[in-house]
Structure 1
Amino acid sequence: MEARVWAPLPEVSSSRCSPASRPSCSSASAPSPAAGTPSSTTRPFLAAQAGGSPSTGPWLLTFWRGAASSPPQCSVLSLPLRARYKLPFGFLPAWDLWLVGSSGGLVCFSGFDGAGFRTVVCNPLTQTWRVLPDMHYNQQRQLVLAVDKKRRSFKVIAASDVYGDKTLPTEVYDSKENKWSVHQMMPAANLCSSKMAFCDSRLYLETLSPLGLMMYRVDAGNWEHIPAKFPRSLLDGYLVAGARTRLFLVGRIGLYSTLQSMRIWELDHGRTVWVEISRMPPKYFRALLRLSAERFECFGQDNLICFTSWNQGKGLLYDVDKKAWSWIAGCASQLCNSQICFYEPRFDTLIY
């Protein structure tokens, strides 16, 4: 590839996956041009981006903090290439940042600048970023980032409050208008979890009152209740967005510490019921959760679901279509200051 393509790109370092290569934890700024041409080891990561097409994926992005005085660090792991690439994140403000999520090549953070909470959206490859305007109400909200590739824009949805304040309306940021709009207050009285799933322009949350799901239609700006009862003996559960309209529920089934198992259900939108589609094999379940009360995390992209737990040095990947389970070395969250999500590296996704 010609040097003129590489010249404006930031430097990206890479390494093959090994225990040593993973982290010890598992107004806008212009990009900083890097001198020279990236080495051949970075080309598998960058080559597909010049034309705007997604690179060899899927990818996992890990964001973690080092010492108090050091900037946050970020790396991406290509599952097919089995290679990890370190992305420079020194271009972001030196705030206390927390990863919100990723969509269509952009990454969203919530941060504290010393005076208040701010929302930052960036493209790590081009090192461009934007601080969003203040919301109309409390800034400490549960956020979801959604990129619209057709409109070449993105939205950030602020749903529930981190402290459970039920009086706040839903707010939506539109990058085309560069402002937040205020919408209907979520009517749910009691949420099961702050975890949310976004698919097919709809945002889903688990609720106990009313029992089932709350669904927010971004295009209409209103909430609807879906009376989908949870499976019996569900100890904990995560909503995971699949491809297109598919919505999964992942959780442990069992009584106290005995006879536990991990299962995956898919929402039947027509019948409004959860249908079991898979069970984690016992050998994977015992290896992932050594203690019965151990906490796990899971997240998804398309029809892939990734599991991590507190003490693991690897993650577990499930392919819903292929019905295949496999371990991923070096992507687990070993410390509370490390966060992971799926990521689609793209140069053509703009923040303006």
Structure 2
Amino acid sequence: MEGFNTSAAIPMSTFSTTTTSSCSSGTNITTNTTTTLNPTSPWMDSRIWSKLPQRLIDRVLAFLPPPAFFRARSVCKRWYSLLFSDSFLEMYLHISPRCYWFLFFKHKSLKSYIYKSGNSGGGDDRDNCEGYLFDPNECTWYRLPFELVPSGFSPASSSGGLICWVSDNAGAKSLILCNPLLKTVTQLPPTLRPRLFPSIGLTVGASSIDVVVAGDDLISQFAVKNLTTESFHVDGGGFFSIWGTTCPLPRLCSLESGRMVFVNGRLYCMNYSPFSVLAYDIAANEWSKIQAPMRRFLRSPSLVECRGRLVLVAAVEKSKLNVPRSMRLWGLQGCGTTWVEVERMPQQLYAQFSEAEAGKGFDCVGHGDFITITIQGTDMVLLYDFYRKAWQWIPPCPFIRRSVGGEGGSRSTGSDGGGGGGLHGFAYEPRIVTPAIGLIDQSSLPFQSFNG
């Protein structure tokens, strides 16, 4: 079967795992867990398992989440080889349940990181060599290495099991697509226009990849302006465009450097001063502007994707109607121009959140039924479950070093080295197969590939 990149051998230590009991518990206990099965149990009777058809066993294995699948590969040679079996990977694509997880990096803000990197020669550069994968259903953290990503790149976007990394230096931007489970790294050609801190949008389908780079055009050595958009496209039909599709941004737009959110064929990003939402139609190659709700009273607005719809999350600071300050969620309606409030954080919880946030600002990421709200400069993350209509604090990541003697002594405050540390999150679906990347690896286009 074509399109699969299975040349990389996957070490059994791909995941380091820690399970934290009770996501919503007031006192969280972090423990390393090991599960053992009694060999005398009737469920382990070899006479039962030896008679199961291999095809049925493969279907069971295809339903395992990636961490469990990689552990299962150590059972026997045949299970180990499943990662290199085209028939198994094809079945995995069709029946494996989706994992709506989140990937966090201990990452300084892009601008402060770049300014610092010019002075220190990249001493702190390799902090991005590992990510922290969070399963919101099981409240489990996993450590995920990114040692194959070269220095001088920062994570910018994610889709379809791939993480997009962008070069830090000003100028033509280099982008890398990485699957941390398969240990593959593929570098795209540099953009045509020089940029400083552009917004990056990525959408990966079963047989296509689209990357959009917008804004922060370098018009001189000392000045930037939000002028243009560049698009990269490759698909299974043999069509490709290497940054050849360009589109002007709306006049007087003010993009905050960051990621875009993909929903139903469009990429969305926030526009500032005053707040509005910019929408880029990939097929039509054009931008449009959508008015934001209560735009004069919003603070730290973020766009997220949940259940296939666009959701705006923001704090409301004041209102003409004397409505108390709150955290609100609005959903964009099918007409594409109007918003409807879908949820509001309980007032008692918002008071607690505001005290912890203390004006630092926050970032939001949505995936499936979940939204994470991360207080900037810290590792404090609030989780909202759309299905259960429940808010809860995520247990702290056990793999992150914490400063000693801080307030409470249990949370990182970002005071270790300036620049405002903390967690920077992405929606991430771990996949043991990403067939779309094969469109790049098998093409004759001038790409560079790095396989571990």
TM-score category, normalised to shorter length: 0.7 to 0.9
User: Residue in 2 aligned with 1:59?
Assistant: 101
Alignment match of 1:342 (pick from 427, 437, 441): 427
Amino acid in structure 1 at the alignment position of 2:248: M
Q: Is 1:189 aligned with 2:189?
A: no
Q: Is 1:221 aligned with 2:285?
A: yes
Amino acid in structure 1 at the alignment position of 2:16: S
Q: Is 1:243 aligned with 2:307?
A: yes
Aligned-residue sequence identity (percent) comes to 29
Between stretches 112-121 and 183-192, larger displacement belongs to 112-121
Q: 1:220 to 1:116 in 2, by over 3 A?
A: closer
User: Residue in 1 aligned with 2:229?
Assistant: 170
Q: Is 1:159 aligned with 2:208?
A: no
CA contact under 8 A between 1:15 and 1:21: conserved in structure 2?
no
What per-residue deviation string (whole Å, max 9, x for no partner) do you get for residues 11-35 of structure 1?
313222358789xxxxxxxxxxxxx
TM-score normalised by structure 2 residue count: 0.62
* Distance in 2 separating the partners of 1:213 and 1:115: 27
* Distance in 1 separating the partners of 2:380 and 2:273: 36
* Distance in 1 separating the partners of 2:377 and 2:424: 14
Q: 1:277 to 1:45 in 2, by over 3 A?
A: farther
Q: Is 1:318 aligned with 2:373?
A: no
What per-residue deviation string (whole Å, max 9, x for no partner) do you get for residues 298-339 of structure 1?
111234211111365442111224322222212598542642
CA contact under 8 A between 1:240 and 1:247: conserved in structure 2?
yes
Give the gaps of 5 or more residues in structure 2. 1-5, 21-28, 33-65, 73-81, 84-88, 108-121, 398-410, 415-420, 441-452
* Distance in 2 separating the partners of 1:138 and 1:131: 17
Alignment match of 1:329 (pick from 395, 401, 422): 395
Q: Is 1:180 aligned with 2:181?
A: no
User: Residue in 2 aligned with 1:36?
Assistant: none
Amino acid in structure 1 at the alignment position of 2:287: W
What per-residue deviation string (whole Å, max 9, x for no partner) do you get for residues 54-98 of structure 1?
5673322122369637562123122223332222211222x1221
Amino acid in structure 1 at the alignment position of 2:432: F
The 5 Å alignment of 1:56-205 reads 57-64=99-106, 68=124, 70=126, 72-93=129-150, 95-112=151-168, 117-140=173-196, 141-149=198-206, 152-161=207-216, 165-166=224-225, 168-176=227-235, 177=240, 179-191=242-254, 193-195=256-258, 196-205=260-269
What per-residue deviation string (whole Å, max 9, x for no partner) do you get for residues 259-308 of structure 1?
42111111224382221111111233233332542311111123421111
Amino acid in structure 2 at the alignment position of 1:221: N
Alignment match of 1:43 (pick from 34, 52, 68): 68
Q: 1:165 to 1:303 in 2, by over 3 A?
A: farther
How many residues were matched structurally? 325
Q: 1:321 to 1:334 in 2, by over 3 A?
A: same
User: Residue in 2 aligned with 1:10?
Assistant: 11
TM-score normalised by structure 1 residue count: 0.78
Higher strand share: 1
* Distance in 1 separating the partners of 2:374 and 2:212: 26
User: Residue in 1 aligned with 2:373?
Assistant: 307
Q: 1:208 to 1:114 in 2, by over 3 A?
A: closer
CA contact under 8 A between 2:302 and 2:364: conserved in structure 1?
yes
* Distance in 2 separating the partners of 1:337 and 1:228: 28
Please report how far the alpha carbon of residue 45 of structure 1 lies from its aligned counterpart in structure 2 after TM superposition.
6.2
* Distance in 2 separating the partners of 1:76 and 1:307: 15
* Distance in 2 separating the partners of 1:80 and 1:262: 23
CA contact under 8 A between 1:189 and 1:209: conserved in structure 2?
no
Q: 1:228 to 1:340 in 2, by over 3 A?
A: closer
Higher helix share: 2
CA contact under 8 A between 1:57 and 1:79: conserved in structure 2?
no
* Distance in 2 separating the partners of 1:249 and 1:344: 21
User: Which structure has the larger Rg over C-alpha atoms?
Assistant: 2
Q: 1:133 to 1:46 in 2, by over 3 A?
A: farther
* Distance in 1 separating the partners of 2:350 and 2:157: 26
1:287 partner SS: helix
Please report how far the alpha carbon of residue 142 of structure 1 lies from its aligned counterpart in structure 2 after TM superposition.
1.1
* Distance in 1 separating the partners of 2:212 and 2:187: 15
Q: 1:229 to 1:328 in 2, by over 3 A?
A: closer
What RMSD, in angstroms, separates the aligned Cα atoms of the two structures? Answer: 3.6
1:190 partner SS: coil
1:81 partner SS: coil
Amino acid in structure 2 at the alignment position of 1:218: I
Please report how far the alpha carbon of residue 248 of structure 1 lies from its aligned counterpart in structure 2 after TM superposition.
1.1
* Distance in 2 separating the partners of 1:271 and 1:221: 17
* Distance in 1 separating the partners of 2:185 and 2:202: 14
